[in-house]
Amino acid sequence: MEFSYYWAYWTLFEAMWIGMLWFTRSRVPGRAVCWIPGVKAVRRRACERRVDALLAGLGEKGVPAADRPDRTQLVDRWHRFVAGRCAAVPFQATPLLIAWAPFLPPRTAPEGTPLASLWMFVALAGYGTVSIALMAADVRAVAVSDAAGLATTKAALFLEELVLPGRQRSQDSALDTEAKAFRQLCRALRAQAKYTAREMPATTRERVRQDTERLIAALGHLNESYLLSEGEERSTAVCEMARLVSNALQHSCRGRDQRNSLVVVSAHLLTHAPASDDAALTTADLWWHRMLRGVGWLVTAAALFTGAAVFPSGGAATDMMAVMGLLSMAAVFPPLRELLGRAVTGLFGTSMPSAEPGSGPHPPPRTEAPAPLSRADEARVLCGSGPAGCPPCPSCFESR
C-alpha cells in the first residue's frame, strides 16, 4: 500500500509538470539535459556520422549545396532533441516501476504454487494505462512547444529512408516504412506551421499555413510519382522530393535563438506546386482535437481533486486545488461554466472569462444596408400603389 502512495505522488507531480510545460509551451527536449557536464558528448559522434552520410547522399542525388542544411546546426539540433527525449524516458518510466514493485515478490498458495489474482492484473493495467497516457501527453507537449525541432527530426528520418534505403532497421517492408515516415513528416510540418506562428497576426498565420499545405501537396505529388514510376522518372522524383525536404530542413534545423523567420521552404521551389484541398484539411482533425482537449481537462481536474484529498497538511492549499479542479471541469461542461459565470457575476459584478476560444458571447449580427431602390420602386412608393407587381404611376415621374 505504501508503494501505491509513492506512485500516486510521483504520478501527480509528473502530470502537473507536463501540464505546466504544455501550458507555457516550454517543453523543449535537450535544453536542460545538455547543461549537465558530459551529457552533451553522449552519442554525438554517432549523430555526426549519420548527418555526414545523409549530406553525402543528398549530394549524390543532385541536391544543390544551397538547398542542403548546415552540418553544425543539424547535428546540434538533432542530437539535442534525441538526447532530451531519451533522458525523459527514465523519469516517465519511474511511476510504472513503482507500480510493479509491490507485485514483484510472488505470492504462494497453500500447495506451494504461485498465485496470481485478478485484482493484480487490473491494478497493473490501470497503472500502465496512466503511465502510457502521461508519455503520450509529454509527446504532445513536445510537439506544441518545439514544433521546429520535431519537424527537423522527422525530416531527417524521412531523408534517410529516401536517399539511404540500406539503413533500414525495422522489420516492416520498405513501402510501409516510407509511408510511415512520410505521414509523420506531414504531421510535423503542419504542427510547425501552426505553433511557430501562434503569436503572429491572422494574415501571417494563414500565409504560413498555405505555404505549408502547398509544400505537402508538392511532396504528395512527387511521392506518388516516386512510388508509381521507374527509371529516369523515378530518379527525377527522388531528386525533387529530396530537394524540397532538404530545403525545409535547412529552415527548421536552426537553433531556437537563431530562428527569426517563418519561412517554411524557399518560395522558388513552390512555383509549380499543385494547389491543396483546403476544405478537406480544415475539417480533418477537429473531433479528436476536441476529445483530447476535453480528456486533458478532466484528467487535470481528477489530479487536482486527488491532490486536495490526500494533501497531508490541508488548509488553504486543498481549497485552492479544489477550486482549480472545479474550474478545470467547467472548461469541459458548458452548464457548469455558465453557472460559475453567474456566481462570479453576482459576487464581484464581473463576468467570468470563457475557458475555450469561441465560447464567449457572440457579437450582435450586423444588419446589412438596404439595397438602393430602382426608378420603378421609387415611383411605386411615391404613388402608394397597392400590390408589389403593379406598374409604376407615370404621374410620379412627371412630378419628380
Per-residue pLDDT reduced to its tens digit, 33-66: 767 777 777 788 889 999 999 999 999 988 999 9
pLDDT at residue 58 in the model? 92
pLDDT at residue 156 in the model? 93
First to last CA, the chain: 97
pLDDT at residue 363 in the model? 46
pLDDT at residue 101 in the model? 61
**What HEC string does the chain produce?**
CHHHHHHHHHHHHHHHHHHHHHHHCCCCCCCCHHHCCCHHHCCHHHHHHHHHHHHHHHHHCCCCHHHCCCHHHHHHHHHHHHHHHHHHHHHHHHHHHHHHHHHCCCEECCCCCEECCHHHHHHHHHHHHHHHHHHHHHHHHHHHHCHHHHHHHHHHHHHHHHHCHHHCCCCCCHHHHHHHHHHHHHHHHHHHHHHCCCCCCHHHHHHHHHHHHHHHHHHHHHHHHHHCCCCHHHHHHHHHHHHHHHHHHHHHCCCCCCCCCCCCCCHHHHCCCCCCCHHHHHCCCHHHHHHHHHHHHHHHHHHHHHHHHHCCCCCHHHHHHHHHHHHHHHCCCHHHHHHHHHHHHHHHCCCCCCCCCCCCCCCCCCCCCCCCCCHHHHHHHHHCCCCCCCCCCHHHHHHC
pLDDT at residue 208 in the model? 92
Most confident listed range (1-15, 46-60, 171-185, 362-376): 46-60
pLDDT at residue 102 in the model? 59
**Cell digits for 70?**
548546415
Mean pLDDT of 275-287: 51
Q: Please state the separation of Cα 157 from the chain's center in Å.
A: 19
pLDDT at residue 74 in the model? 93
Each residue's pLDDT tens digit, 191-208: 999 999 888 999 999 999
Query: pLDDT grade, residue 222 (50/70/90)?
Result: very high
Mean pLDDT of 334-352: 68
Question: Does the pLDDT of residue 275 top 80, yes or no?
Answer: no
Mean pLDDT of 236-254: 92
Whether the CB-CB separation of 174 and 168 falls below 8 Å is answered with yes
Q: Within 10 A of 244 (CB to CB), how many other CB atoms are there?
A: 23
**Cell digits for 345?**
457575476
pLDDT at residue 135 in the model? 83
**Cell digits for 254?**
536552426
What is the residue whose three cell numbers read 511532396?
Answer: 219
Helix pair angle (118-145, 71-100), 10° resolution: 160
Q: Please state the separation of Cα 393 from the chain's center in Å.
A: 67
Most confident listed range (20-24, 269-273, 302-306): 20-24
Q: Buried (b) or exposed (e) across 341-377, using 16+ Cβ within 10 A?
A: beeeeeeeeeebebbeeeeeeeeeeeeeeeeeeeeee
Most confident listed range (117-126, 128-137, 161-170, 312-321): 128-137
Global pTM? Answer: 0.65
Question: Which of 217, 241, 245, 213 is closest to 227 using CA atoms?
Answer: 241
pLDDT at residue 122 in the model? 65
Whether the CB-CB separation of 299 and 11 falls below 8 Å is answered with no
Query: pLDDT grade, residue 284 (50/70/90)?
Result: very low
Query: pLDDT grade, residue 150 (50/70/90)?
Result: very high
What CA dihedral angle connects 382, 388, 390 and 395, to 10 degrees?
10
pLDDT at residue 337 in the model? 74
CA separation, residue 236 to residues 17, 164, 248, 250, 280 (Å): 48, 16, 19, 21, 29
Q: Which residues contact 92 (CB under 8 A, 6 or more apart)?
A: 14, 131, 134, 135, 138
Tell me what the pLDDT averaged over the chain comes to: 76
Mean pLDDT of 257-277: 82
Question: Does the pLDDT of residue 354 top 50, yes or no?
Answer: no
pLDDT at residue 40 in the model? 76
Query: pLDDT grade, residue 346 (50/70/90)?
Result: low
pLDDT at residue 245 in the model? 94
Length of the chain (residues) = 400
256 φ, ψ (degrees, to nearest 5) = -65, -35
What CA dihedral angle connects 325, 326, 331 and 334, to 10 degrees?
160
Each residue's pLDDT tens digit, 100-148: 665 555 544 455 544 445 566 666 667 777 777 888 888 888 889 989 9
pLDDT at residue 362 in the model? 44
Mean pLDDT of 333-348: 73
Distance (Å, whole) CA 379 – CA 166: 84
Mean pLDDT of 319-330: 77
pLDDT at residue 359 in the model? 42
More reliable by pLDDT, 10 or 289: 10
